[in-house]
Structure 1
Amino acid sequence: MRLSFYGMVWLSLWVWSGAAGAQEVSGSESAPSPTADGVIDMEAVVVAGVQPGPGLWKVRNGDHLLYILGTQSPLPKNITWRSDEVDQVLQLADEVLASPGITVDADVGFFRGLTLLPSALKASKNPDGQKLQDVLPADLYARWSVLKQRYARRGGGIEKKRPVIAAYQLYTEALSDSGLREGGVIDPVIDSVLKQRKMKRTPTLLKLKLEDPREALTDFRKETLKPEDLVCFSRTLDVIERDLPQVAARANAWAVGDWSSLRSGARQDWQQACATAWFNTETARKRGISGVEARMQARWMEVVEGALQKNRITFATLPVWQLVKPDGYLAALQAKGYEVEAPE
């Protein structure tokens, strides 16, 4: 069976790398002043109602066209995304490609997979029953305590989680309080059209083979706190403390189709720091799991080039940061001679 983590905790939480569309934070915007507890109050007001989203990128291979929607996460909670351009392309597309990502393929049956769930849940917690206060430096735990009181008052169980997992859980709580959410805006609209056309998305996932899921879980449960974990944890707190207004501004920019604002922001390095924390583990190294982001891109390129050869019209989705960064996916297509056209 295909085992997400529940089958492998340290792989399924690839949220930081942008596989599911990490948000981008612009460092050029002026930051509001912090409150007495050091946390910056939200000043940006998130948009609501029906919004068009951004225009589509086009990649040409002769008379064959690939349309790409740049995706953004998080997005405002209360928007309804409605894009006539996307709807028209989906109605005509010969093939619709899913976003890049990873999947873990493990040779276990369904019922054996269920028996791994308790081990996966244990692996998400600190070893030896330790709590965050036991494993974090005092100054870092003090910052955590202020933010937890503000955004996750009822999250008692979060204190037992590994720092990287606890930080992400707190981040999602802070997003919700700020009128933002991850997921639930873009995919339902695309899936609705595909259902009408009786089509399915073509996967572009990088498949990682895991021969020993139970042993991998056992190994991971033994792993203790690493310097990379502390960097990820601290930088996530930085975002929650200071950068939520900018996160909201970028969510708004996507919703209203403001490409100039989307393109001007640089992906902040905290997601990459957290990806490093997940994959720089002995558990991952022992199983030859490395260079995941480059391998994800190579897999996506393989599928896309095949689609550009055979289809007149193809539709795909990619996180915005992967579209606009100098060595990103579009840059790789341009380097191979494809003509790339930005949205108007």
Structure 2
Amino acid sequence: MTALGLLFCGPAAFAQQAVDASGPIDLRVVDPEANLVEALVVNARLPGPAWWKVSDADTTVYVLGVPAMTPSKLEVDESVFKRRVDGANVLIMGQEADISVVRIVGLALGGKRFFITDKPMRQTLPPELRARLEARLAIMKEKPDAMDDVKPAFAGFLVANAGEGGDVSIHLGGVTDRIREIAKGKDLEKRPRIQSLPGYSLVDAVKSLGAAPQPLQELCLDAGLRQAENGEGGVAITAERWARGEVRAVVSADRGFSRCLASTPAIARTLRSGQTDAVKAVTAALNTPGKAVAVIELRSLLAEGGVLEQLRAKGFTVTTPGE
């Protein structure tokens, strides 16, 4: 079994849902990465992925936005990154999902206890969502009632990451690992200090969905189905566009199951904490004259109230890839 970073999104039809007992609320308020700052969504001019800059009078932090999910093999022009990380005071690696293969297998095999449902799950679904689930189960060579004993959110997680034969296969893209390799490489004249910011457990995030109310459960199933329906081909196309610096195309792509996670209040708080940590780290890096590099998940970087907008509010100069 390989490991895979998750890229997540949900449908416009689910724009308003109840996420707790208080009644319907706008999920865009919950999801810290739902809305992006349009002025910051700019395609790259240099070769390779897009870069933003945050600067003050004597320091520049070069910020690379990375997608949440990439295939294991991806051709990326590394020349700009190598030039910028060489001699940098620090390389800041932003919040990432902690994915333990052992825990993922355990969740897939024994996680049902967090998601047991009182009545057959398909009976609780709108007709269109039920039809899509049954079609996906058929592709997975499973019976229509194969997931009737679990809640929709868990079914969404399983179908989003089901490989051939129904086995859950989570693939971590090698982008951030490759970045660390370059930063530690002997071919740099001056290697940076690497600062890895706190991550979060993907398994614990999925478990927290067990108590989610039905509307959010359905959003999560829809998000998982969308990820499955797009397949690895969709992930590969989006990653290739990222590697070419096509930011607008990347952020407009379906987010898959991450839309479910980001719309869950407890998980949304964790994502906001990651933004706060990144802002603090970049601010600290700006205290040392010279240059630094930060690698931050793309939507967290560009979101309304996200990393770049917070840094701009602090008075730092933010430069887009098009400038």
Q: TM-score, normalised by structure 1?
A: 0.59
1:226-250 deviation digits (Å, cap 9, x = unpaired): 3211122124324544798766543
Residue aligning to 1:252: 240
SS in structure 1 of the partner of residue 287 of structure 2: helix
Measure, in 2, the Cα distance between the counterparts of 1:73 and 1:207. Answer: 13
Measure, in 2, the Cα distance between the counterparts of 1:316 and 1:232. Answer: 31
Matched, 1:300 2:293: no
1:154, distance to aligned residue in structure 2 (A): 6.6
1:305, distance to aligned residue in structure 2 (A): 0.6
Change (3 A) 1:161 1:83: farther
Residue aligning to 1:165: 154
1:215-270 deviation digits (Å, cap 9, x = unpaired): xx8xx79847632111221243245447987665433311222345446x377697
Change (3 A) 1:269 1:337: farther
| Aligned partner letter, 2:63 | I
Contact 2:51 2:63 in 1 (8 A): yes
> Which stretch shifts more, 70-79 or 89-98?
70-79
1:108-143 deviation digits (Å, cap 9, x = unpaired): xxxxxx9xx78x944665327977546645653331
Residue segments in structure 1 that go unaligned for 5+ positions in a row = 1-12, 25-51, 104-113, 176-180
Matched, 1:193 2:198: no
Measure, in 2, the Cα distance between the counterparts of 1:331 and 1:67. Answer: 15
Matched, 1:231 2:219: yes
Contact 1:95 1:314 in 2 (8 A): yes
Instruction: Let me know the Cα RMSD of the aligned residues.
Output: 4.5
1:71, distance to aligned residue in structure 2 (A): 0.7
Percent identity between matched residues is 19
Measure, in 1, the Cα distance between the counterparts of 2:161 and 2:210. Answer: 27
Measure, in 1, the Cα distance between the counterparts of 2:185 and 2:243. Answer: 25
Contact 1:127 1:221 in 2 (8 A): no
Measure, in 2, the Cα distance between the counterparts of 1:270 and 1:77. Answer: 19
Measure, in 2, the Cα distance between the counterparts of 1:343 and 1:300. Answer: 19
Change (3 A) 1:223 1:23: closer
1:154-186 deviation digits (Å, cap 9, x = unpaired): 7999736543233233223489xxxxx853331
Measure, in 1, the Cα distance between the counterparts of 2:256 and 2:6. Answer: 14
Contact 2:95 2:274 in 1 (8 A): yes
**1:1-344 equivalences in 2 (<5 Å):** 16=8, 53-76=48-71, 78-101=73-96, 121-122=110-111, 126-127=115-116, 132-133=121-122, 136=125, 139-150=128-139, 152-153=140-141, 159=147, 162-173=151-162, 183-196=172-185, 201-205=194-198, 223=211, 226-238=214-226, 240-241=228-229, 249-259=237-247, 261-262=249-250, 265=252, 271-277=258-264, 279=265, 291-310=269-288, 312-344=290-322
1:95, distance to aligned residue in structure 2 (A): 0.9
| Aligned partner letter, 1:62 | A
| Aligned partner letter, 1:205 | P
Contact 1:133 1:141 in 2 (8 A): yes
Measure, in 1, the Cα distance between the counterparts of 2:68 and 2:284. Answer: 28
SS in structure 2 of the partner of residue 97 of structure 1: strand
Change (3 A) 1:23 1:226: closer
Measure, in 1, the Cα distance between the counterparts of 2:231 and 2:200. Answer: 34
1:97, distance to aligned residue in structure 2 (A): 0.9
1:295, distance to aligned residue in structure 2 (A): 2.8
SS in structure 2 of the partner of residue 315 of structure 1: strand
Measure, in 2, the Cα distance between the counterparts of 1:328 and 1:143. Answer: 34
SS in structure 1 of the partner of residue 194 of structure 2: coil
Measure, in 2, the Cα distance between the counterparts of 1:268 and 1:68. Answer: 22
Contact 2:59 2:290 in 1 (8 A): yes
Contact 1:69 1:317 in 2 (8 A): yes
Residue segments in structure 2 that go unaligned for 5+ positions in a row = 10-32, 36-46, 165-169
1:297, distance to aligned residue in structure 2 (A): 1.7
Contact 1:73 1:251 in 2 (8 A): no
SS in structure 1 of the partner of residue 157 of structure 2: helix
Q: How many residues are treated as equivalent by the alignment?
A: 264
| Aligned partner letter, 1:167 | G
